[in-house]
Every structure is written in structure tokens, then in C-alpha cells.
């Protein structure tokens, strides 16, 4: 019996999206090519989760771009423990906590680059995003950039609190999908402290090539930072209305 590839009726729409649609079929099965591509995408996602962050390479790139940098660790001792115990990834190790001191700078923005669930994301996109954001930080004092491994978003709260930061920005690898294994998330928290809830953060998501561009993300973060300062807080009460107002006014 000869099997032939049957085209999907949505095939014409596939050129508008990288989503896995309109794969066609062979008999009652998915075509071999699509099956192999799915397996490859799954392998990339697994690799993204388990590949260690290149701390030395990221630190060198930061220094070349003119940023002071330091590395910290969390209470997680291994990648396996990191995946099973999210709570340990939210707190600094004793040694890192002891090493961080507050020297009293006003208007401080502390930036944390963290591996999260994809070390590829901060390695590829965190520095270009921060470079794009730096020119928008006119009234902010940019702190040392901390590189955190085996880290969750909330570890930024502890770092920001210890540094006496007005706000903390955590650039972290997002959970990889089957079309994007290097998506970067940027989480902003005003007046960070241990115990902040997720409702007190703003997130700019999917920063990557093919996703949200560096300049657009930096512009959004810049507006959120200024809005957080005016509001005295971040999270559900803080909205980016810049683009909405521009569209409404026809700008």
C-alpha cells in the first residue's frame, strides 16, 4: 500500500506563524519530517533547561560593555535540586548573602541576570537588552549587575533588599517551549524585599530574536521604571499606558 502526504487545509496559514500547525498527514499518522522536527524541538528545550550558564563568558561580556559585575549563588546545590525545590532557588546561599553589602546609593536600580529555566536566554539576550535600557536610565543609579545561578525570580528581592535598591530588575531564562528555547523574561519589582509576592512585579516577556526586540523591550521597561517611581510601587497597580495613549492620540 502506498502512503502519500495529504496536505492540511490550513497549510496556507503556516507561513504566518512559527506555531506547529498544518503539518499534513500520511494515512492516520503525522508525516515523518514533522515527527523528527518535533523530536528536535523537544531536545532543544531539554538542553536549554540543563545547560549550565556560562558565568565567565557573561561576566566578560558585561565588563566589555562597561558594567560592573559580580556572581552569586542560591541555596540550590544541583540542577536536579533546583527543579525539585523552587523555594531554594529563591534565596541566596549563606556565602553570597554575607558577601553583599549596602553602600547607600540613592535611586539605585539593581539588575540580576539569572539562568532560570533556560541559561541560553540570559547568555544571548540579557546584555543587549541592558545596553538598550542603559541609555533610558537618566535618573537612576545603575548598580553592579549580579549573575545568579540556579536562581528563581524572587532571588532578586533578597539581592535588592541587601543592596538597598529602589527597584530590582531580574533578567531570567523563561521556561523553554517547542518553538523558543532562549526566551528572556524581565521582572521589575519596586522596593524589593524578601517576601514580595508575584502580584508586586511587572513582567516583560519573550525577549529574543523573533520575539520582542531589545529596543522595544527597553522602552517598555524604561516607562515601567518611571511609572513605578511615580506610583511608589509595581505589580498589578502599574500599567504601561505609553503605547496605548500614543495609539489613542494617533501618535
| pLDDT on residue 249 | 42
Residue 180: strand, helix, or coil: coil
| pLDDT on residue 59 | 98
Output Rg (C-alpha) for the chain, integer angstroms.
21
| pLDDT on residue 49 | 94
> What's the distance, CA 144 to chain centroid?
18
pLDDT beneath 50, residues of the chain: 244-245, 247-251
| pLDDT on residue 3 | 66
Are the C-beta atoms of 141 and 109 separated by less than 8 Å?
A: yes
| pLDDT on residue 251 | 39
| pLDDT on residue 250 | 42
Burial (CB < 10 A; 0-12, 13-18, 19+), residue 4, is exposed
Distance CA 33, CA 192 (A): 48
pTM of the model: 0.90
| pLDDT on residue 125 | 98
| pLDDT on residue 240 | 83
Residue 83: strand, helix, or coil: helix
Amino acid at each position: 500500500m502506498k502512503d502519500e502526504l495529504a496536505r492540511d487545509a490550513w497549510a496556507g496559514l503556516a507561513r504566518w506563524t512559527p506555531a506547529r500547525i498544518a503539518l499534513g498527514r500520511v494515512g492516520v499518522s503525522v508525516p515523518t519530517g514533522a515527527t523528527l522536527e518535533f523530536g528536535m524541538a523537544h531536545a532543544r528545550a531539554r538542553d536549554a533547561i540543563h545547560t549550565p550558564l556560562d558565568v565567565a563568558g557573561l561576566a566578560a561580556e558585561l565588563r566589555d560593555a562597561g558594567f560592573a559585575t559580580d556572581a552569586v549563588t542560591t541555596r540550590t546545590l544541583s540542577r536536579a535540586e533546583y527543579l525539585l525545590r523552587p523555594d531554594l532557588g529563591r534565596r541566596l546561599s549563606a556565602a553570597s548573602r554575607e558577601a553583599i553589602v549596602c553602600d547607600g546609593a540613592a535611586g539605585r536600580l539593581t539588575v540580576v541576570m539569572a539562568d532560570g529555566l533556560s541559561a541560553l536566554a540570559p547568555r544571548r539576550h540579557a546584555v543587549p537588552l541592558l545596553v538598550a535600557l542603559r541609555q533610558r536610565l537618566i535618573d537612576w543609579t545603575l548598580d553592579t549587575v549580579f549573575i545568579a545561578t540556579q536562581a528563581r525570580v524572587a532571588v532578586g528581592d533578597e539581592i535588592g533588599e541587601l543592596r538597598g535598591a529602589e527597584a530590582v530588575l531580574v533578567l531570567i531564562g523563561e521556561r523553554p517551549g517547542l518553538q523558543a528555547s532562549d526566551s528572556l523574561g524581565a521582572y521589575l519589582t519596586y522596593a524589593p524585599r524578601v517576601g514580595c509576592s508575584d502580584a508586586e512585579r511587572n513582567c516583560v516577556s519573550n525577549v529574543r530574536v523573533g520575539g520582542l526586540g531589545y529596543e522595544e523591550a527597553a522602552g517598555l521597561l524604561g516607562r515601567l521604571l518611571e511609572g513605578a517611581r511615580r506610583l511608589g510601587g509595581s505589580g498589578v497597580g502599574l500599567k504601561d499606558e505609553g503605547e496605548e495613549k500614543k495609539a489613542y492620540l494617533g501618535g
